[in-house]
Structure 1
Amino acid sequence: MTTQFTARRSVLLGLAATGAGVAAACTPGSSNGGGSQTTSSEPVSTDIAALGDITLTVWDQNTDEGIDAATEQLNEQFMQKYPNVRVERVSRSFDDLKTTLRLALSGDDAPDVVQANQGYPDMGAFVEAALLQPVDPWDELYGWTQRYPADLLSLNRFSEDGRKWREGNLYGVSATGEIVGLYYNKRLLQQAGLAAPATMEEFQAALPVVAAAGLLPIQYGDADKSPGIHVFGALLSATAGEQAAGDLVSGSGGAWTDPDVVASATTLQEWATREYLPDGHNGVAEDDAVARFAGGEGVFLFNGTWQLATLAGAMGADVGFVALAGVDGKPETLGGVGLAWALTARTANANAAAAYVDFVTNAAAGQVLVDTGNLPVVFPDGYQAQSGTLAGDVATSWEGVSRNGGLVPYLDYATPTFYDTLTGAVQQLTGGQATPEQFTRTLQDDYAAFQQDR
């Protein structure tokens, strides 16, 4: 049995598989992007050969096995298509990218294309500082607004001053879709006499059973900080529901001290105190935790679909994946699109940079992503994910979350400082240095300060 996806079936994936690659030229600001201006003096064009020999410097955070392989392949293919362009790739971990990108963007030798994280902390701050330029002027040529659903594309939109997220100019295009879900070791689950959970309630009930069987329930390492966002976010999404959790992130309702947030924090702390998490987890790197899970240490692992290729390669048929159903009876979890491929304000090669963004996000790139074990936003026509495989589980979970309105934006999008606040607070929570009430008050104080400044 197979789960089949075409470019028409999924709400989130159902995109027109064709792009407008017409070699044309127009003046900046003439696209359907609301009169956005480029920061470059050259006319908008797809005639990359006319640029002569150039070097395009591209910064990405595609360090995981599958997406790294895809990026290397796509860069080679891009240079074959445009032999006058040499791609100079700089690849950094997500956390390294967060700490170094702003300095790089503001320097004299800024890269041409970067991957920018959505939300206020990164993309919003870069837009406010005029470090990125809108890609709307190239939309007429490449057709991004026709290819992507408006709700997904809105994750890469900001007002020109960087103060209003999900509206205004388009500042990037994403290649991959992603959700945070629950990986599980099928062999160890069978050893514990359990079936794979489908809901957060079933997962919670499985934890003491796994522990009683002498197995580590949840593999986890938070030295890199971002895993804390993922595990707490997945728990909050299922506990509060997509609507309430999404309202918190977007600032359209609720408070970070609401009962569901406190309940989620209480549960996460209990996982630590009941030793459902490994000892010393705050000092364990994410890659090490993933490797330990792949080696049979831990029955469950909360992580993103970006680990598909790594875990499928290491575990084969022994690993499964599910987006847990939450309080609303449907799969609800963190997710959306991968980091946006964006054009820097200081690039001297804007047309080549826009061509690169289109090349690594179009339908043909989707096939490369599938072939390397990744989850593309645009699936190739007729794509089939084999049932019972990790790829099939991921594709089915992605469709289930997206079709039923279960996607919650990443929690760190909430304010410019929320990433540091939340990641530090999660470490204190699971380390026993803060109560759930103190944890939620810390989050609310950050959010309130952001709102007051606006």
Structure 2
Amino acid sequence: MNSHRHPVAARRRAAAGAALAAGCVLLATACVPGTDGSGATGPGGTSTAVPDPAKAGKVTLTVWDQEIRGGQNAEIQRLNAEFEKEYPNVRIKRVSRSFSDLKTTLKLAISGNNPPDVIQANQGYPDMVAFVQAGLLQPLDNYAGIYGWNTRYPNTLLNLNRVSADGTSFGTGRLYGISQTGEYIGVYYNKDVLKKAKVALPRTWPELTAALPKLKAAGQLPIQFGNLDKYPAIHTFGALDAAAGGGPGSRDSILGRGKGFDNEATTEAARALADWTAKGYLPKGANGTGYDDAAKQFASGKGAFLITGTWELADLKKPMGDKLGIMPPPPATAGGNPVTTGGQGLAWSVTSKTKHPDVAAAYLDHLTGAHAANVMSQEGVLPIIPGSEAATLPKDSADGQMVAGWQALNAHDGLVPYLDYTTPTFYDFLSAKLQDVISGKLDPDRLGPDMQKEYAAFLAQQKKRGGAEGGGA
């Protein structure tokens, strides 16, 4: 990036202006007040001009993120260094934690007397909605208008970072974050392991399931898996649910407008997870194996498949090289459209107590623009909007396959939000239930009814709350 601040700022203003001119013409039905930039004012009534961090004086911007893995960490380090070089008056004080640690400590940090300025917040009820309800996040609609974020992103993804005005639901309302990375739960495969077992790369889901006993018979571990961290089972189960045809229904239920989870797809997915465990297609003691440990085992050649997110690619390709491949979970029939869990990385949000909202917003814009997309591609990270660098990736490389899978999923509406978004307690509830399915403590046929009970109780609470608020209006 050019280190001279003013030419760069000028290009940003020009780009933002062009985006705003086209913004709500393209997405007219999607815009909410403030996102088109018309008549919008910044925090405290400031103007709608693109903020210039160079005029903010000396600033320390404290940022909490969970981008600790190889590629993600590398691209954030590069982008942070570029931002500091462009604005020498700004110092970025970065605090990086694992997803689990961030989820555990973040609310306490941002509700304290000295909160960070920028954080990564998980979408859905447990985190983002709870933070908004507590008044801990700053709405970003005005900045979306200034920078043209509403035209930078597909609306279906941008909406996952919205929370309703009454703070009761997500998917609509005011904008409280923007995401940098695209992501989906894919099927990684080790080409050498498949070749040794004389198993062809499956092109349909039935072919994948048929390959599992062949791999085991050949002395190979079919699927590497570790669930000590709990969230991996949610991801694997989401992919199984989508493979069973539950994708559209689950998406509606996650967004609070569906029939729930007591259905054939949920039962089929739960049975598959239990069956894979019982037949030894997953490692023994998977509930006691860490996610990172399982990934390292896969990278060392122990396992034909690894079902996890695209965020793992950079760490896997370093030791595996050309042995590594990735694809979305294959469709039910040859030539069908892929469906899987995914969407976008954690939202980058601005806390409500920050003293530097304009600098924080400029930082978010820096992390998510076209240049940032190219930096991400160089580091093996999937940007939401792949840039020119992604177009140069060899199509048969793992990076090229990852991008092609992302494009196919978006083209065919194949992304289903993460199941843990569903209710404020669904992450803890579902992760515990899935551990019980894997350990054999829970009959897989009970999972759907149990999920339904949890979901129905939440909807009833939402309806009661909405009625009480409406009655008091």
Equivalent residue for 1:418?
A: 426
**Is there any run of 5+ residues in structure 1 with no aligned partner, and where?**
1-17, 23-28
CA contact (8 A) 1:112 1:347 kept: yes
Equivalent residue for 2:379?
A: 372
CA contact (8 A) 1:36 1:169 kept: no
Deviation sequence 1:271-297 (CA, Å, 0-9, x none): 011111111110111110000000011
Aligned length: 432
Whether 2:251 is the aligned partner of 1:243: answer no
Pairwise CA distance, 1:34? 9.4
Q: Supply the distance in 1 between the matched residues of 2:90 and 2:198 (Cα, whole angstroms).
A: 57
Equivalent residue for 1:12?
A: none
Pairwise CA distance, 1:33? 7.1
Pairwise CA distance, 1:131? 0.8
Equivalent residue for 1:75?
A: 80
Q: Supply the distance in 2 between the matched residues of 1:70 and 1:127 (Cα, whole angstroms).
A: 28
Whether 2:288 is the aligned partner of 1:288: answer no
Deviation sequence 1:28-51 (CA, Å, 0-9, x none): x86537988876676665121221
Q: Supply the distance in 1 between the matched residues of 2:44 and 2:279 (Cα, whole angstroms).
A: 57
TM-score (norm 1): 0.91
Pairwise CA distance, 1:441? 2.5
Equivalent residue for 1:96?
A: 101
| RMSD, aligned CA | 2.0
2:221 to 216, 228, 231: 216
Q: Letter of the aligned partner of 2:286 in structure 1?
A: H
1:172 to 148, 172, 177: 177
Q: Letter of the aligned partner of 1:238 in structure 2?
A: A
Deviation sequence 1:147-200 (CA, Å, 0-9, x none): 112111111111123212111111111111001010011001011111111222
SS of 1:386 mapped into structure 2: coil
Q: Supply the distance in 2 between the matched residues of 1:110 and 1:130 (Cα, whole angstroms).
A: 13
Q: Supply the distance in 2 between the matched residues of 1:224 and 1:324 (Cα, whole angstroms).
A: 22
SS of 1:360 mapped into structure 2: helix
Alignment CA distance shift 1:269-1:319 (3 Å): same
CA contact (8 A) 2:252 2:258 kept: yes
Q: Supply the distance in 1 between the matched residues of 2:38 and 2:285 (Cα, whole angstroms).
A: 51
Q: Supply the distance in 1 between the matched residues of 2:431 and 2:114 (Cα, whole angstroms).
A: 31
Q: Letter of the aligned partner of 1:410 in structure 2?
A: Y
Equivalent residue for 2:53?
A: 48
Whether 2:137 is the aligned partner of 1:137: answer no
Equivalent residue for 1:401?
A: 409
Q: Letter of the aligned partner of 2:421 in structure 1?
A: Y
For 1:223-234, what aligned pairs fall within 5 Å after superposition? 223-234=228-239
Equivalent residue for 2:357?
A: 350
2:189 to 184, 193, 215: 184
Equivalent residue for 1:271?
A: 276
Segment drifting more, 271-280 vs 32-41:
32-41
Q: Letter of the aligned partner of 1:386 in structure 2?
A: P
CA contact (8 A) 1:39 1:345 kept: no
Q: Supply the distance in 1 between the matched residues of 2:199 and 2:149 (Cα, whole angstroms).
A: 45
Pairwise CA distance, 1:251? 2.6
2:308 to 298, 303, 308: 303
Whether 2:20 is the aligned partner of 1:20: answer no
Whether 2:444 is the aligned partner of 1:436: answer yes
Q: Supply the distance in 2 between the matched residues of 1:80 and 1:416 (Cα, whole angstroms).
A: 40
Once the two structures are aligned, what percentage of the paired residues are identical?
Answer: 45
Deviation sequence 1:86-142 (CA, Å, 0-9, x none): 000000111111111111111111110001111111111111111111111112321
CA contact (8 A) 2:386 2:403 kept: no
Q: Supply the distance in 1 between the matched residues of 2:208 and 2:38 (Cα, whole angstroms).
A: 47
Q: Supply the distance in 2 between the matched residues of 1:40 and 1:31 (Cα, whole angstroms).
A: 17
Q: Letter of the aligned partner of 2:256 in structure 1?
A: G
Q: Letter of the aligned partner of 2:97 in structure 1?
A: R
Q: Supply the distance in 1 between the matched residues of 2:429 and 2:38 (Cα, whole angstroms).
A: 35
**Is there any run of 5+ residues in structure 2 with no aligned partner, and where?**
1-13, 19-32, 463-473
CA contact (8 A) 1:181 1:323 kept: yes
Segment drifting more, 207-216 vs 441-450:
441-450
SS of 1:320 mapped into structure 2: strand
Alignment CA distance shift 1:35-1:269 (3 Å): farther
Equivalent residue for 1:32?
A: 36
Whether 2:163 is the aligned partner of 1:158: answer yes
Q: Letter of the aligned partner of 2:352 in structure 1?
A: A
Q: Letter of the aligned partner of 2:382 in structure 1?
A: L
Q: Supply the distance in 1 between the matched residues of 2:234 and 2:225 (Cα, whole angstroms).
A: 12
Q: Supply the distance in 2 between the matched residues of 1:420 and 1:168 (Cα, whole angstroms).
A: 26
SS of 2:183 mapped into structure 1: strand
SS of 2:368 mapped into structure 1: coil
Equivalent residue for 1:15?
A: none
SS of 2:178 mapped into structure 1: coil
Pairwise CA distance, 1:381? 2.9
1:203 to 198, 201, 208: 208
SS of 1:179 mapped into structure 2: strand
